[in-house]
Structure 1
Amino acid sequence: MKKTWSWDRFENIDCFGNEGEPTGTYIWPKSKGGVRIPENRMLLSKKSIEAIGDETKGEVNGIRYSITKQFVLGGDIYGNMKIQTDRYGGWIEVVKKVQK
C-alpha cells in the first residue's frame, strides 16, 4: 500500500489539500474514545477536521477517507487513516507526523 504524509510542511497543506495551520484535534472522534497527546498526533487543517467531524468514513474535497480505530502500543497512541484520491485507485495509508 502506498503511503503519504498527513501534512506537507513546505506547502502548508494537509492530505486533503486544505491550507491553514495544523491542529492537534482528535483524528479519531473524541466521542468514540479518541485521545490526543502533543508528542504523537495526526496533523490536519481545521477545515479538514471540521469536515470529518465524528464520522469514520466519508469524503473531503472529493477525497474519500476511512479512519481506523486508534490504539495504544508500548505507551504510544497511534491513529490510522486511509485516503483514496481516485475512486478506481487503491487506498493510500496516511502517515502521521510526529511533532514535539
Structure 2
Amino acid sequence: MLELRPNCELCDKDLPPQSREARICSYECTYCAACAETVLHNVCPTCGGGFAPRPIRPRQSWRPEEKLGLTNQPASTRRVHSPFTREDIAAHVDRIRHLAPEDR
C-alpha cells in the first residue's frame, strides 16, 4: 500500500492525500509537481527513475466489506526530506536527464 507521504521531499510543500500536485517515483519518493518538473526534470534524485501523479486514496471505503479508504488506512504523517544537497541533486539530474525514464 502506498505510504502517501505528507510533503514534498525537496521544498517541504504540504501534499495532503487529496493533492493532485503530488508526484511519486516507483519507490514512493514524493515531490510536488513544480519540483518534479522544474528542478528535478523528471529524474528522481534517489533512484534516477521518473515520476507519475500520485493516486488519490478515497476518503471512505466504498465497499463496506472492505476496510479501505483514508478512514481505515490513513496517510502517513511522517515528513520525509531528501538526504541529498541541492548541488548533488543538480549534478545527478544533469547526468541522466537526457535519458528517457524507460532507458535509465
Q: Structure 1 length normalisation: TM-score?
A: 0.28
The structure that has the greater radius of gyration is 2
Counting helix residues as a fraction of each chain, which structure ranks higher?
Answer: 2
Q: Structure 2 length normalisation: TM-score?
A: 0.27
Counting strand residues as a fraction of each chain, which structure ranks higher?
Answer: 1
